[in-house]
Structure 1
Amino acid sequence: FGSRPAALFASPPAPAVTPAPEAAVLRKLRGASMKSVSGADLLDLCEDLEDENESVRRRALAGLAEAKKGDEDAIAEVCSHLEHLHPEVRKAAVTALGYVAEKGDKFALAGVKTRLRHWYPNVRRAACAALAKVAEQDDESAINAVCELLPHEHADVRRSAVETLEQITSKGNPQVLARLGSCLEHTDAPVRRTAVQALCRVVYSGDRRAVAMLRAKLGHGLPEIRQAALEALGLVAERGDQDALAAVSERMQDMYPDVRRQAAQALAQIAEEGDVTALAALEPCVDVGRADVKRAACDAVRELLPKDQKTTVGSQWPAFQAGPWGKLQQLEAASRGFMAPEESLTLVHAHGNLGALARAASSAAEAQMRRREEAAA
């Protein structure tokens, strides 16, 4: 086949690194009082951030930590290192930017925002981390710049954007809620999942505005949007939230199995133990429908039934329908004696759940009322 062209198969050249002896860095730091490091010495320290010697980079950071803040030349030099090909240099630049720039420094913010649009995804990630160093809390322009990365095609960039949002916004920021609400309706599933993760990190549990926004999306025309809203609602709503429970219970009758499965999981997260309404909403999906929906419904029933009640919900599924999970449940049921005949209303019969589950729910309600009466007495 002949010799291979070197230009096509050679490894890309390593990034140019200017070696600097560690002693030179020490001389720069000893040359003046640490609180007055500026000018040429400051720029030299910035250049040392890309040295191949880790100890040189570390000492350069130590010097920058004591330097005067606000030097635009130093800020520009540090921001340029955010684009370096070596990850350790980018990491050092992120740390250094917090040393040479004040929070809210417009020059630094402009330099970082420019890198948020860089073609290389890892530079965008570094810029996200750097923005958290220089952006003030709830800075509207910074929030908008980060939110632009939430639909990014690379998962690592989206993850960095979520982490930065958590750091630069206060809990429940309405601007962030609106942007995340839009992302929940994105056509790409990974972007919707990113929005769910971000929402859980930028609001307090039970945030009324977030819950209201998610409840409204449960009526969306697209099933994948309803599913994303259910997932987020299960994580954001407080346990026992009756409005959220009512909205989620309605989705148990959704025509799309994926939505019903997510609704069952959300009920397990939101409903309280022994909640009769939630158990009644789960009942139709326990025996009828797709296997993964039945599994989610049975898991939710077991989660919500009072712990002193016995149940064999899900153990009657055939192996080909339930898969390994069903086999495991059957083995557990047999080993614990749960396959015994029905002895009371609280034991769901092994050959079916419809009707028996309703009786179990009724028994749960009676037990709950007895506990309340005993507590009142």
Structure 2
Amino acid sequence: MFFDCVRSSTPLHFPDDAMAHVIFAYTEVCMTLQFYEKAESILKLSIKDHISAAQSRDGFLNNHCIYLLEKLAGLYTKQSKMDIASECYQTSISLLREQLEKISSSPSSSRTFDDHDISVEDQTRLLLLSVLERYSYLSVQFDELGYFDDTIEILSLVLETKRDRLCFIDGHHSITSTLNKLGIAHFNSGNLYSALQAFQECLEIYEASTEVFEAPMLSVLYNIATIYNAFGDYDQALGTYTRVLAQEMKCLQDYTPRTVAVSDDTASSSTSRVRPIDAVNTLFKIFRVYKKKANAEMFQDGLKYLLQAISLCSKYKDEIPLEQYLQVHFALGDEYFLQGNITKAISIYKIPFSTFVLSTEHFDGFLEHINDLYEYRNSTKDILLKTAANAA
């Protein structure tokens, strides 16, 4: 009723910022109360109004129509209707593609502008930037849905448009952000060589830049190390991971906890910081690579990194997510367990249980994990005994 009253009191071409915010807020309330049919009805009607308004004007949709489609996709995702959610995202892509074609046919300046100052007077550029922003958002949604080919196609188009149409210089943070996303999409689809190429190109831009992009550049380096690890090139992986770790530990020397929440979007800016969890993850990765090398001496070196990760977890306990805290402690406990030092393993396992109030789910999962370890240790022992008997 509220939405109908507001809509009836507005002119035909009502879609604007204020009305869009009303719709977003109202549908959010409906979704919270699980009035899914009402939310769906409002969103569909609003999308139709936006498209009608655009057709009667200059043919350009404002971004609110895309936002509404994304909201509708989110509604279907909330109800586990993934196929319909995908259709909404595909519709958004089609509309954005039409917008891109319209913009591309409009006059543009061929001049190059610097990293940050985009002329407000150049409306074509601003409109194009806006469309590309929605493209980038949708690429993330497709990636989460597992449509990696679509993600790669979208990001490749965004990258090409930023370079050719917008004339962004290579040092622009927008280029590196897209390259990193493209590398992740290639990695998720199993195209490791293409992923490595995108990450390395991104890293070269960061290294050549006069600006400081600490956390984003380390993120790219971390991704490169992960690729080497996937290739089985453990020496390259260790070399790159330790390079990341050295810089992370240096950054943590001046680290102070945040007092306010910061959105994930800051990861693409030069002001983002290295966090304790970043170093913990890198230390754990290094330990895992050492373990893969299956060399007793190397394994002991790897164990040092795991102990360092546990030390950081204790130092920054309030900032380390529970799952990561459990991961590193259980990993160390597992090593002692598999070596037959059950007493030492139990003392390590006890630390998370005495530090946090763990849920029943965590406890049940832990018991299942221990049972699997027993089976693994016994089966390994049987294999070793049989091997020794055959050798004799």
TM-score (norm 1): 0.39
Q: Between Structure 1 and Structure 2, whose CA radius of gyration is higher? A: 1
TM-score (norm 2): 0.38
Structure with bigger helix share is: 2
